Amino acid sequence: MSVQERITAPADRPRRSLPIEFGVGIVLLVTILFFAWQRPDFHSTDNIRLLMKQSSELAVIATGMTLVIATGGIDVSVGSVVGLSGMMLAFVATRTHGNLLLACLAALGTGAACGLLNGLLIARGKLPPIIVTLATFAAARAAVQLFNNGGGISNLPPALQDLFDRTNIVGLPILFWIGLLTLVSGWLILRKTKFGRELLALGGNRTATRLAGVRTERVEMMAYILCGLLAGLTAIIVTARAASAEPNAGLYFELLAITAVVLGGTVITGGKATLLGTGLGVLTINVLVSGGRLYGQEDQVARFLVGAALLLAVEVQRARKAT
Amino acid sequence: MTRRFKPPRELPTLVLLAAAGLALTATVPAFRTSYNLTTLGKDAAIIGIMACGEGLVILSGGLDLSIASILALSSCVAATGMAAGWPWPLVALAGLLAAGAAGLLNGAFITYRKLPPILTTLATLLLFRYGTSLATHARSYSSFPDKFNLIAKDWNPLLILLAVGLGFTLLTVLTPFGRWLTAMGGNEQAALLSGVPTERVKRIAYLLSGLCAGLAGLIAMAYNNNTQSNVATGYELNVIAACVVGGIAITGGEGTILGAILGALLINLVQDALILLKLPSEQLGLFTGGVVLAAAILERWRKTRQNRAARVQA
């Protein structure tokens, strides 16, 4: 036996461990089976279609959040940005007599602009992400009140709801495909592009990444812009589904998105991210909400359970790191 | 070498507060009424008392997002007891105890289980708020004993804030706990290596933060003579804003409790001004957001200047 072999004795060899998404996958399976067993309504076609539509909002916003958390940052402003972008969408739609393309572009633009502001202050200004996004969280929610004297805007063209809420592709709701497509694009960006690798490297070790010649400022800024853009897309979905823009649309979205991301196994300190896990996390949260509603409970139970799930997920993540 | 005069961190807040206060006194007659001032004092006391506890946590390098939920928890515990007709001092104490237990739970997760503070308190934000809501079936409680409601009468909330602020200031200035707190916030590893019981200090900080939120909860329910599980939703952000505006560095290690209180006063003064000037008070967010950013930029600027000075000396 050579020295080299003795150094890598079996005990030291990295044990092959289960994929990081395994935990959330089990939780999801158990909750689905439980509700399917207890509530026959749960696996009715209508409920599953509704679940797909409901999940799309969170799937889109959680994809952006995954990218931001992968850099080691956090964006707590997304919920407010959804509210603001939705108002902008409705504002443009009513002013242009129902030009949906322009309205949707306005929503995406508003989201991206908020993301750009966050990104500039965080990447260029070197300010802590939690503080910057906390500030934009408060400011964007307040800016919502500048439209229509703080009321909602509801006289939207019906085509908006028809397009997003009632259209099917291959028999499944278009919103399901939007959510899936966003998650897959996020996965492709993270795994298959130079930008994605730089993003993960940045979250792993900022200084080393910068010294390796990566333009870290630009990469970090891009993550926040994408996150804002996806918040704009979420605003389109939310507004279309409700057929109106509400001042408090997107409330708590940041909490749910962060929970979905961490639940899925993305490491909160950055450097490691999984969009498959995020997708499973999003489904878990929505199954809990949907199941809670079938029990005739308000969303309180679901939110309580989401809190417990978050705590559990962080705890599991920590245990994994310790071994 | 002569020491350059270093302005205290609270100075910008104090100047803004004084300027805004004087301007309002001079131009808006409705501001001077005792009704307006006591209402303002009550609001400032609720945010300010929570800011004292949150200030300790932030100084130690942590963050507590669950305080508004703890406020709801403590007020609902106290309200349930009063609705059952139990003596109010006992019930109020039970509310405080519940808040302390909630704070301890945060501290336990963060120290024994080493979970990140933001995520832990994000989770307990949901757990405490919706746990309270489930336990009380989201019912609304009202008509508390007059003697209990006395704690929120006239200037009493402001006096309580003064007492808490004084106590916490003495705690941070005079005791080893205070020095440990700032040492940890500056550099936790270094503090640990020099023998600071960092985990215990953290637990105490989260416990005190919970207790402060509980006290604020009692004042809020006494003033409104009403409480419900959704009371004070979103207050945690105003409290964190108050701390940051008052010059506490969000990364920990620098700032004072006095600053946190001044920050709370300033934020509530602006909110009051918006209402008096008949502007939608929801627009407070634009101001809070702007000021928080300004404070962060100021902090950044201070640090680069410090680094430059250090480099020049070296």
Exposed / middle / buried, residue B163 (Cβ in 10 Å: 0-12, 13-18, 19+): exposed
What does the alpha-carbon distance between residue B169 and residue B257 come to, in Å, rounded to a whole number?
6
**pLDDT tens per residue across span A226-282:** 999 999 999 999 999 888 888 888 888 888 899 899 888 888 888 888 999 999 999
What is the domain range of residue A113? 46-251
Q: What is the percent of chain A with per-residue pLDDT over 70, rounded to a whole number?
A: 92
CB atoms within 10 A of CB B280: 13
Res. A322: pLDDT tops 70: no
Q: Does residue B9 lie within any of the structural domains?
A: no
Does residue A51 carry a pLDDT above 80?
A: yes
Sign of CA dihedral B267, B268, B273, B279: positive
Q: pLDDT (tens digit, 9 = 90+) per residue, A77-109?
A: 999 999 999 999 999 998 888 788 999 999 999
- Tell me the per-residue pLDDT of A187-220, one tens digit each, with 9 for 90 and over: 999 999 999 999 999 988 888 988 988 888 999 9
- Beta-ladder partners of A173: A168
Beta bridge partners of A153: A245
Within a domain: residue B257? yes
* Mutate which: B64, B105, B286, B287, vs A, most A CBs within 10 A: B286
Query: What's the domain range around B264?
Result: 35-302
Domain-located, residue A175: yes
- The total number of structural domains that make up chain A: 1
A225 in any annotated domain: yes
What ipTM was predicted for this assembly? Answer: 0.80
Q: Is A191 helix (H, G, I), strand (E, B) or coil?
A: helix
DSSP A166: S
- Give the model confidence (pLDDT) of B59-113 as tens digits: 999 999 999 999 999 999 999 988 888 888 899 999 999 999 999 999 999 998 8
User: Which is higher by pLDDT, B114 or B124?
Assistant: B124
Interface list for A 138-157 with B (CB within 8 A): 138-146, 149-150
Residue A156 lies in a domain: yes
In a domain, B22, yes or no: no
Is the residue at B24 inside a domain?
Answer: no
Q: What is the pLDDT of residues B207-216, one digit of tens each?
A: 999 999 999 9
Q: B12 CA to chain A: closest CA distance, Å? A: 19
- Tell me what pLDDT residue B3 has: 59
Residue B302 has pLDDT above 60, yes or no: yes
pLDDT at residue B120 is higher than 60: yes
| Helix, strand, or coil (residue A154) | coil
A:183-242 residues touching chain B, CB 8 A cutoff = none
Sign of CA dihedral A52, A55, A56, A57: positive
Asked if residue B4 belongs to a domain, the reply is no
pTM above 0.90, yes or no: no
Q: How many domains does chain B have?
A: 1
* B171 contact partners, CB below 8 Å, separation of at least 6: B177, B178
Please tell me the distance from the alpha carbon of residue A208 to that of residue A271, in angstroms, as a whole number.
12
**B99: number of CA atoms within 13 Å, CB side?**
30
- Nearest by CB to B123, which of A74, A136, A307? A307
- Closest by Cβ to A128, choosing from B116, B130, B250: B250
On the question of pLDDT at A47 being above 50, the answer is yes
Rounded to whole angstroms, the Cα distance separating B168 from B148 reads: 24
Cβ within 8 Å of A, B 183-242? 237, 240-241
What would the pLDDT profile of B215-226 be if each residue is shown by its tens digit? 999 999 999 888
How high does pLDDT run on average in chain B?
Answer: 88
| Residues forming beta bridges with residue B145, ordered by sequence position | none
Q: How far is B120 from chain A (nearest CA, A)?
A: 6
> What is the mean predicted confidence (pLDDT) over B114-125?
87
CATH number, domain with residue B82 = 1.10.3470
Residue B19 belongs to a domain? no
The pLDDT score that the predictor gives to residue A298 is 67
The reply to whether B75 falls in a domain is yes
Q: What is the pLDDT of residues A60-76, one digit of tens each?
A: 999 999 999 999 999 99
Task: Give the pLDDT mean for A133-149.
Answer: 85
In a domain? residue B250: yes
